[in-house]
């Protein structure tokens, strides 16, 4: 009996120790916003780029009087690209750090796990990257918004691009989780609708997210009779993939190659000339696609501060901070439910034009960009995009009924 009780004493000591860290005051403190990004591992550059976009926005906002007269302060947590880690991190940010709102999420799998818990936290979340249609679809709720393009929008655009090519036999190489599987599913459905004659091959390739070696999948596609291949591999994985594909002669084959997130500047910067010319590249925001004052200012400030052009993830995160500014000022408070309500149906000016959070599913009507890789940019050290197409965000979106979202 004796020994057990002493052990309990240890629990008591730890319990009392925790009490010291409790207690958060609100008064005239800065407005705190929690950022949930991948900050470690092969996709960590995405988290870094998002942080850069956010830092830029926070500096600008704080320099011009803050939000509701209060300064803005960021608190970050690493999601490690895992749903369970992200859910715990969000609870920590809300209940321990006392954040007023959340931004972030890089991975569809993380988003699918975390979004259903948002109503419990009673804080708004603006997703700036994760693209699974479900979170503004069957899993939607009144606290979750997305300012970036989703898979359904981008794959509708991809199908329109693919339908213009001569390829009829299509296959895919994508990461083995929600994003890769849903990209292929939506692409296939839309492409079949436009051109019923296409053949969606049953032989598909889903390497593990974070896999180092893609050569077996590259070889398999090269040995098959595929004429077109949709590649939704992203981040550090995509950098590895392109390097390995180069050594295998993948791009010399007569294939229509479509990279669904290939024009992410994180990837283009890392690859430089290794990204081949003449492949279809997409991004949720291309920094040279929008001719407006906000974009000019944003791109210039970003180039001045960091030396490379902004990626879509930086732009989404940047715009999300301004979305919160506008929503909090419209609501006149930082209360979670009030801010979430103000975001619904809200229109704002962002680097990629006027952005509206659709009332029915909280998805922003933003435009996917597709182009074909061209010569190197003389100053920015990355490939340029030719034949740039800016799809109308609303036209490529599912209707609210199709999303299955009921708010």
Partner 1 sequence: MKTKVLMAILAVVIAGLIAVPWIASYFYVFIFTEILILGLFAASFNLIFGYTGMLSFGHAAFFGIGAYATALVLIHLEWPFLVCLLVSMGASALLALMIGFLSVRLNEVYFAMLTLAFGMMVFAIAYQWRSVTNGSDGLAGFTLGSFGLGLDLTLANPSVYYHVVLGIVAIAAIVLYLICRSSFGMILKAIRQNPERVSFAGLNVRTYRLVAFVIAGTFAGLAGGLIAPFLRVASPELLHWSMSAEPILMAILGGTGFFLGPFIGSAAFVLLETWITTYTESWMLVLGIILAMMVIFFRKGLLGTAIDWWMEVKK
Query: Which is nearer to partner 1, 60 or 185 (by Cβ)?
Result: 185
- Pairing mode, strands 353-356 and 256-259: unpaired
Query: Which is nearer to partner 1, 22 or 27 (by Cβ)?
Result: 22
6 binds partner 1 (CB under 8 A): yes
15 binds partner 1 (CB under 8 A): yes
Residues in Cβ contact with 402 at an 8 Å cutoff, skipping those fewer than 6 apart: none
116 binds partner 1 (CB under 8 A): yes
Helix (H) or strand (E) run with residue 402 in it: helix 400-403
Contact letters for partner 1, residues 178-197 (x by CB under 8 A): x--x----------------
Helix (H) or strand (E) run with residue 269 in it: helix 265-271
Query: Which is nearer to partner 1, 1 or 27 (by Cβ)?
Result: 1
CA atoms within 13 A on the CB side of 215: 7
Query: Which is nearer to partner 1, 10 or 27 (by Cβ)?
Result: 10
Stretch that binds partner 1, among 17-25, 60-68, 296-304, 344-352 (CB under 8 A): 17-25
26 binds partner 1 (CB under 8 A): no
Contact letters for partner 1, residues 214-243 (x by CB under 8 A): ------------------------------
Least Å from the CB of residue 175 to partner 1: 9
127 binds partner 1 (CB under 8 A): no
> 3-state DSSP call for residue 175?
coil
Question: What DSSP string runs through 268-325?
Answer: HHHHGGGSPSS-EEEES--TTS--SHHHHHHHHHHHHHHSSPPPHHHHHHHHHHHHHH
Q: What angle do CA 351, 352, 357 make, to 5 degrees?
A: 105
Q: Which of 38, 58, 77, 308 binds partner 1 (CB under 8 A)?
A: 77
258 binds partner 1 (CB under 8 A): no
Judged by CB under 8 A, the number of residues near partner 1 is 49
Q: What angle do CA 83, 89, 90 make, to 5 degrees?
A: 90
Which phi and psi angles does 203 have, rounded to 5°? -85, 95
Task: Pick the closest to residue 399 from 32, 136, 91 (CA basis).
Answer: 136
Q: What angle do CA 35, 37, 40 make, to 5 degrees?
A: 135
Least Å from the CB of residue 29 to partner 1: 16
Q: Which of 29, 68, 95, 278 binds partner 1 (CB under 8 A)?
A: 95
Q: Which of 66, 70, 74, 88 binds partner 1 (CB under 8 A)?
A: 88
Whether 51 and 314 have beta carbons less than 8 Å apart is answered as: no
Task: Pick the closest to residue 336 from 156, 145, 202 (CA basis).
Answer: 145
312 binds partner 1 (CB under 8 A): no
- Helices 293-306, 44-63: crossing angle, 10 deg rounding: 110
3 binds partner 1 (CB under 8 A): yes
Question: What DSSP string runs through 199-222?
Answer: EE-S--B-PPTT-S--HHHHHHHH
83 binds partner 1 (CB under 8 A): yes
Q: Which of 117, 169, 189, 292 binds partner 1 (CB under 8 A)?
A: 117
Stretch that binds partner 1, among 107-115, 256-264, 300-308, 311-319 (CB under 8 A): 107-115
Q: Which of 168, 193, 208, 394 binds partner 1 (CB under 8 A)?
A: 208
Query: Which is nearer to partner 1, 12 or 407 (by Cβ)?
Result: 12
91 binds partner 1 (CB under 8 A): yes
Q: Which of 78, 106, 237, 361 binds partner 1 (CB under 8 A)?
A: 78
Task: Pick the closest to residue 280 from 175, 367, 171, 161 (CA basis).
Answer: 161
202 binds partner 1 (CB under 8 A): no
Whether 365 and 156 have beta carbons less than 8 Å apart is answered as: no
Within 10 angstroms of residue 379's Cβ, the number of other Cβ atoms is 8
What is the DSSP code (8-state) at residue 277? S
Torsion-angle region of 365 (φ positive above 0: left; ψ -120 to 50: alpha; else: beta): beta
**Interacting residues with partner 1 between 39 and 58 (CB under 8 A):** 39-40
Chain residues that interact with partner 1, rule: CB under 8 A: 1-12, 14-19, 21-24, 39-40, 77-78, 82-84, 87-88, 91-92, 95-96, 108-109, 112-113, 116-117, 120, 139, 176-178, 181, 208-209
């Amino acid at each position: 009996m004796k020994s057990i009780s002493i052990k309990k004493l240890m629990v008591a000591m730890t319990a009392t120790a925790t009490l010291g860290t409790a207690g958060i005051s609100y008064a005239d403190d800065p407005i705190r916003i929690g950022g949930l990004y991948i900050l470690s591992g092969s996709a960590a550059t995405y988290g870094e780029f998002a942080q850069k976009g956010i830092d830029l926005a926070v500096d600008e906002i704080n320099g011009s009087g803050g939000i509701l007269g209060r300064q803005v302060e960021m608190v970050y947590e690493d999601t490690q690209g895992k749903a369970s880690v992200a859910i715990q991190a969000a609870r920590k940010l809300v209940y321990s750090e006392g954040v007023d709102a959340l931004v972030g999420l890089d991975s569809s799998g993380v988003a699918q796990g975390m979004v259903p818990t948002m109503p419990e936290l009673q804080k708004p979340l603006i997703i700036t990257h994760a693209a699974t249609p479900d979170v503004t679809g069957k899993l939607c709720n009144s606290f979750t918004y997305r300012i970036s393009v989703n898979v359904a929008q981008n794959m509708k655009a991809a199908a329109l691009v693919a339908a213009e090519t001569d390829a009829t036999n299509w296959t895919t190489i994508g990461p083995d989780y929600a994003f890769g599987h849903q990209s292929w599913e939506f692409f296939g459905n839309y492409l079949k609708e436009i051109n019923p004659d296409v053949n969606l091959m049953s032989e598909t390739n889903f390497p593990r997210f974070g896999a180092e070696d893609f050569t077996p999948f590259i070889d398999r596609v090269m040995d098959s009779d595929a004429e077109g291949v949709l590649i939704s591999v992203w981040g550090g994985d995509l950098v590895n993939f392109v390097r390995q594909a180069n050594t295998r002669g993948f791009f010399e084959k007569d294939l229509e190659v479509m990279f669904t997130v290939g024009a992410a500047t994180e990837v283009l910067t890392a690859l430089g000339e290794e990204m081949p010319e003449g492949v279809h590249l997409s991004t949720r925001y291309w920094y040279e696609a929008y001719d407006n004052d906000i974009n000019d200012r944003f791109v210039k400030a970003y180039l001045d501060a960091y030396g490379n052009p902004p990626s879509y993830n930086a732009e989404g995160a940047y715009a999300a901070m301004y979305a919160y500014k506008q929503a909090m000022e419209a609501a006149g408070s930082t209360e979670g439910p009030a801010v979430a309500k103000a975001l619904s149906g809200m229109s704002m000016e962002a680097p990629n034009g006027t952005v509206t959070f659709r009332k029915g599913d909280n998805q922003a009507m933003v435009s996917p960009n597709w182009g074909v890789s061209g010569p190197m940019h003389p100053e920015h050290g990355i490939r340029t995009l030719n034949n740039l197409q800016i799809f109308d965000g609303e036209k490529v979106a599912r209707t609210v009924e199709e999303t299955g979202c009921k708010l």
